[in-house]
Amino acid sequence: MAKIRLFIDHPLAQGQGIALSSDQAHYLSSVMRQEAGDEILLFNGRDGEWLARIARLAKRNGDVVPERQTAPQMDPPDLWLLFAPIKKARTDFIVEKAAEMGAARIVPVQTDFTNSERIRQDRLQAHAVEAAEQCGGTYVPEVTDLNPLSRLLDGWDGTRRILWADEAMVGPAETLAGLTKGPWAILIGPEGGFSESERARLSAMDCVTRISLGPRILRADTAAVAALALWQAELGDWRRD
Amino acid sequence: MAKIRLFIDHPLAQGQGIALSSDQAHYLSSVMRQEAGDEILLFNGRDGEWLARIARLAKRNGDVVPERQTAPQMDPPDLWLLFAPIKKARTDFIVEKAAEMGAARIVPVQTDFTNSERIRQDRLQAHAVEAAEQCGGTYVPEVTDLNPLSRLLDGWDGTRRILWADEAMVGPAETLAGLTKGPWAILIGPEGGFSESERARLSAMDCVTRISLGPRILRADTAAVAALALWQAELGDWRRD
């Protein structure tokens, strides 16, 4: 039985007890049926993964004590995912998948054809936390607030290259072999694609590389996972160097 | 506005009228608000994509007439996806994603650690049809009934190689470069992985290649999309030859 993993926003050090939040105590006691003396795993995004023991547990409070580090801190490569929010369930899904696939930062963007005007950033961030707990990572990607794409591109630092999965390029995929290492952002469009002016602007940017994701039109959530997989295998931490 | 695409299990030929099923007529009239004279796209998995005109449409019946072929038949590469069904929503999702990603056949397998004893094959097949309609494909992958993995491997034809995404191999991914072209099946395990005896058996098969999908543990649905993307880019119809 795999141990419970909890993200906890607190420094982790041997023997230094940590008070659980009300939600964490509830989750451990009532949902997962843990009790004092049980072992869990903790990570905070900075100090790696720690084996910890539950010192005290009530319904809405408790303490855990880190005993020893079980994995070093592993940060993902410097890869952002930019995507246009779609229907709620699929937006949740994209955030979950991006965390599992090792995106360092998740940036919802508002494009000319994006339907949603706002997102629940706190809810999406909670999905990223849950995905990190589940996938064994020691890092939780930040989910930013919704950014208008035009404003984001106005201030874009061209040293971060953009891999634009252009749904209008249906056909054989470009290979990612030969792309420069370094900071990247993957950009996935909304259903309905980008507007003509967005397309013109992206095409004119030196730091943008357009790719196709094959001969079928992928939904945005599928395209996000597929593009992250190709990037990770070629340039990221799936690569065996 | 993209045209409505319908899969229709009937030969498609110019001027040869086709009676709509009750569900199709309902979908076109009541859901999509179409009427006689409107154009839709049809495919049947054999004759490519056709532009057709609605000749007559009532609430529960109607006729469409193919006018001209708009795309040739495009079959996906000879790639199967074998996966252990998980929770309902995620199983639906895997089928949808496999169809979009261009699997030719989708095979739910019952492993030692699979929770579900049965699947609704008809419902999963309907998801594959809907995904094919959505993604612009002209092919609908067959979703088979649930197969015990052991029986499937008993009768396995070794000329179809198996790409085993082994969740126990957490670490840098193998590159798929250099793998033999030809018929393949991707095998994704259940949450909880494969049993010791399943692992021993797979490891002993000459036609099996194990790969890792990076340093995080992916959910089965994420792993399916990621493995399909890597395969398609290296050996399948995403490749630009």
Question: What is the residue-wise DSSP string for A37-65?
Answer: T-EEEEE-SSS-EEEEEEEEE-SS-EEEE
Contact A217 B102 (CB under 8 A): no
Q: What is the per-residue pLDDT for A173? A: 62
Residue B241 lies in a domain: no
Q: What is the per-residue pLDDT for B38? A: 96
Tell me the pLDDT band of A241, cut-offs 50, 70 and 90: low
Q: Scan residues 105-144 of B and list those with Cβ closer than 8 Å to A.
A: 134-137
Residue B240 lies in a domain: no
Q: What is the per-residue pLDDT for B210? A: 92
Question: Looking at per-residue confidence, does A87 or B185 come out higher?
Answer: B185
Angle subtended by helix axes B220-235 and B88-101, to nearest 10: 10
Residue B52 lies in a domain: yes
At A228 the three-state DSSP class reads helix
State the Cα–Cα distance between residues B140 and B129, nearest whole angstrom.
6
**Least CA distance to A215: which residue of chain B?**
B238
Q: Report the CATH number at residue B106.
A: 3.40.1280.10
Contact A218 B174 (CB under 8 A): no
Residue A213 lies in a domain: yes
Instruction: Tell me the per-residue pLDDT of B15-31, one tens digit each, with 9 for 90 and over.
Output: 999 999 999 999 999 99
Q: Scan residues 145-174 of A and list those with Cβ closer than 8 Å to B.
A: 170-174
Mean pLDDT (chain A, rounded): 93
Interface test with B, best of A127, A238, A240 (most B CBs within 10 A): A238
Average pLDDT of the segment spanning A150-164: 96
Cα dihedral across residues B98, B99, B102, B105: positive or negative: positive
Contact A217 B174 (CB under 8 A): no
Q: Is B9 exposed, middle or buried (0-12, 13-18, 19+ CB in 10 A)?
A: exposed
Q: What is the per-residue pLDDT for A3? A: 86
At A208 the three-state DSSP class reads strand
In sequence order, which residues have a C-beta less than 8 Å from that of residue B126 and are 6 or more positions away? none
3-state secondary structure B134-195: HHCCCCCCEECCCEEHHHHHHCCCCCCEEEEECCCCCECCCCCCCCCCCCEEEEECCCCCCC
Residues A108 and A181 in one domain: yes
State the Cα–Cα distance between residues A206 and A162, nearest whole angstrom.
9
Phi, psi (deg, nearest 5) at residue B224: -65, -50
Cβ neighbours, 10 Å, residue A154: 9
Which of A135, A170, A175 has the CB atom closest to B217's CB atom?
Answer: A135
**B193 in A contact zone (CB under 8 Å):** no
Residues B120 and B207 in one domain: yes
Q: What is the per-residue pLDDT for A12? A: 97
Q: What is the per-residue pLDDT for A116? A: 73
State the Cα–Cα distance between residues B30 and B214, nearest whole angstrom.
47
Tell me the pLDDT band of A191, cut-offs 50, 70 and 90: confident
Compute the nearest-CA separation of A101 from chain B (Å).
7
Residue B64 lies in a domain: yes
Contact B219 A134 (CB under 8 A): yes
Q: Is A70 exposed, middle or buried (0-12, 13-18, 19+ CB in 10 A)?
A: middle
Residue A50 lies in a domain: yes
Residues A100 and A216 in one domain: yes
Instruction: Evaluate if residue A174 carries a pLDDT over 90.
Output: no
Contact B173 A239 (CB under 8 A): yes
Interface test with B, best of A49, A186, A222 (most B CBs within 10 A): A222
Instruction: Evaluate if residue A146 carries a pLDDT over 80.
Output: yes
> Of B61, B72, B67, whose CA–CA distance to B17 is shortest?
B67
Number of structural domains chain A divides into? 2
For residue B223, the number of C-alpha atoms closer than 13 Å in the C-beta half-sphere is: 33
Residue A23 lies in a domain: yes
Residue A240 lies in a domain: no
Contact A100 B216 (CB under 8 A): yes
Of B35, B53, B71, the one marking the end of a domain is B71
Supply the DSSP symbol for A90. H
Residues A124 and A216 in one domain: yes
Q: Do residues A137 and A199 lie in contact, with contact meaning Cβ atoms separated by under 8 Å?
A: no
Cβ neighbours, 10 Å, residue B223: 23
Which chain B positions have a beta carbon within 8 Å of A134's beta carbon?
Answer: 217, 219
Label the pairing between strands A79-83 and A62-71: unpaired
**A232 in B contact zone (CB under 8 Å):** yes
Q: Report the CATH number at residue A38.
A: 2.40.240.20
Domain that holds residue A138: 79-235
Residues B135 and B191 in one domain: yes
Instruction: Evaluate if residue A223 carries a pLDDT over 90.
Output: yes
State the Cα–Cα distance between residues A112 and B142, nearest whole angstrom.
37
Which of A137, A217, A230 has the CB atom closest to B233's CB atom?
Answer: A230
Which pair of structure tokens corresponds to residue A190?
């909304």
Supply the DSSP symbol for B113. T
Which chain B positions have a beta carbon within 8 Å of A135's beta carbon?
Answer: 216-219
Could you tell me how far CA A15 lies from the centroid of its own chain? 31
Residues B100 and B218 in one domain: yes
3-state secondary structure A97-125: HHHHCCCCEEEEEECCCCCCCCCCHHHHH
Residues A34 and A119 in one domain: no
Taking each continuous run of H as one helix and of E as one strand, the counts in chain A are 6, 12
Measuring CA to CA, how many Å separate A1 from each of A39, B76, B192? 12, 39, 9
Which chain A positions have a beta carbon within 8 Å of B212's beta carbon?
Answer: 238
Could you tell me how far CA B196 lies from the centroid of its own chain? 29
Q: What is the per-residue pLDDT for B241? A: 66
Residues A55 and A92 in one domain: no
Of B31, B51, B71, the one marking the end of a domain is B71
For residue B227, the number of C-alpha atoms closer than 13 Å in the C-beta half-sphere is: 32
Furthest-apart CA pair in chain B: how many Å?
A: 61
Residues A97 and A55 in one domain: no
Residue type, B162: I
Place of tokens 């630009």: B240
Which pair of structure tokens corresponds to residue B29?
């009239």
Measuring CA to CA, how many Å separate A239 from each of A9, A35, A187, B215? 30, 40, 21, 10
Could you tell me how far CA A241 lies from the centroid of its own chain? 23
pLDDT (tens place) for every residue of chain B, 241 residues total: 568 999 999 999 999 999 999 999 999 999 999 999 999 999 999 999 999 999 999 999 999 999 999 999 999 999 999 999 988 888 999 999 999 999 999 999 999 998 777 889 999 999 999 999 999 999 999 999 999 999 999 999 999 999 999 888 766 666 787 888 999 999 998 878 899 999 999 999 999 999 999 999 999 999 999 999 999 999 998 886 6
Residues A85 and A152 in one domain: yes
3-state helix, strand and coil shares in percent for chain B, rounded to the nearest 5: 30, 25, 45
Of A27, A46, A71, the one marking the end of a domain is A71
**Least CA distance to A233: which residue of chain B?**
B173
